[in-house]
Structure 1
Amino acid sequence: MNREHGYTLMETLVTLTLMMILSVGGLYGWQRWQQQQRLWQTAVQVRDFLLFLRDDANAYNRDRVLRVGQDEVGWCLSAEGEGPDCASGTSFTLRPRWPGITLAGVTPGLGFYGLRSNRLGG
């Protein structure tokens, strides 16, 4: 019996080519899924921050006006003082977990205005 066992060079190259094609497709899908998850997590983080500001404004009858700040690291949302301070690490400043997420814009004057959310008392 003079039979050789193993794979030919052509079989090995075809197998490696198929593995590379499937790996590239999987990598693209993984990166896309990861981007979607990061965007979702940032949206949930902003929603929770807004709920926190609303609850604080209602509980302590104070105004919490949202401001957008920008620095070398990225954007932040702040609800304290006159200008946004991205460097402060207080609970009234939000910095996104993922630096690749950008903020398109915020409605000017967006905020929560104390008890019953009345901006101007009467």
Structure 2
Amino acid sequence: MTLIEIMLVLGLIAMLSIGSLQGWREHQQRARLEQQAQMLRIYLSGLQAQSYQYNLSHLLWTIVGKSGCVGSGIKPADCASAGDSLFKPTAPDITVGVYSEKTMGFYGLRNMAQAGHITLTNAAGTIRVILSARGRIRLCSEGKSIAGMAVC
């Protein structure tokens, strides 16, 4: 092998490495977004089960933004003073948003809920966590499919 051939091979390897690094970063962002959406769904399912079991009303509050959170009860000034029973994304790049005109929540009687949705966003896209009036909690992605989720 000549020096030119070795330089050409090293150049090709460098180009392929750069392309795969970007793909890996996008994959990690999608995985983090999907994990956080599943964690929010599990948190809401726990509130729903508690509401149904003890016939309680759990009204949800949301603090939007990069350091946002979701909880139930009396809305605090910020997430740091909210206490333990709340959902706060563990990934620093996740933004919490809400697009419901009414207060969402769970009502113990007949396992009903006030409908609405909460969005989680990062560079990979946006996932919407939807709460229906019958208490069904589902996930969908806005714009493009993320992790096999249906598009809203």
For residue 27 of structure 1, what is the amino acid of its counterpart?
A: L
Aligned length: 111
Cα distance change on mapping 1:84 and 1:47 into 2, 3 Å: farther
Query: Which structure would you say has the larger RCO, counting Cα contacts within 8 Å and 6 or more residues apart?
Result: 1
Segments of 4+ moved more than 2 angstroms: 82-85
Over aligned residues, Cα RMSD in angstroms? 2.1
2:118 alignment counterpart = none
Counterpart in the other structure of 2:108 = 114
More helix by share: 1
Q: 1:63 to 1:85 in 2, by over 3 A?
A: farther
User: Where in structure 2 are there 5+ consecutive unaligned residues?
Assistant: 114-152
Instruction: Please show how residues 87-106 of structure 1 align to structure 2 within 5 Å.
Output: 87=80, 88-90=82-84, 92-106=85-99
Q: TM-score, normalised by structure 2?
A: 0.64
Q: Tell me how far apart the structure 2 counterparts of residues 106 and 55 of structure 1 sit (CA, whole Å).
A: 24
- Structure 1 alignment gaps of length 5 or more: 1-6
% identical aligned pairs:
34
How far off its partner does 1:84 sit? 6.2
Deviations 1:1-26 (A, max 9, x none): xxxxxx42211210110011110111
Give yes or no for the alignment of 1:36 onto 2:30: yes
Higher strand share: 2
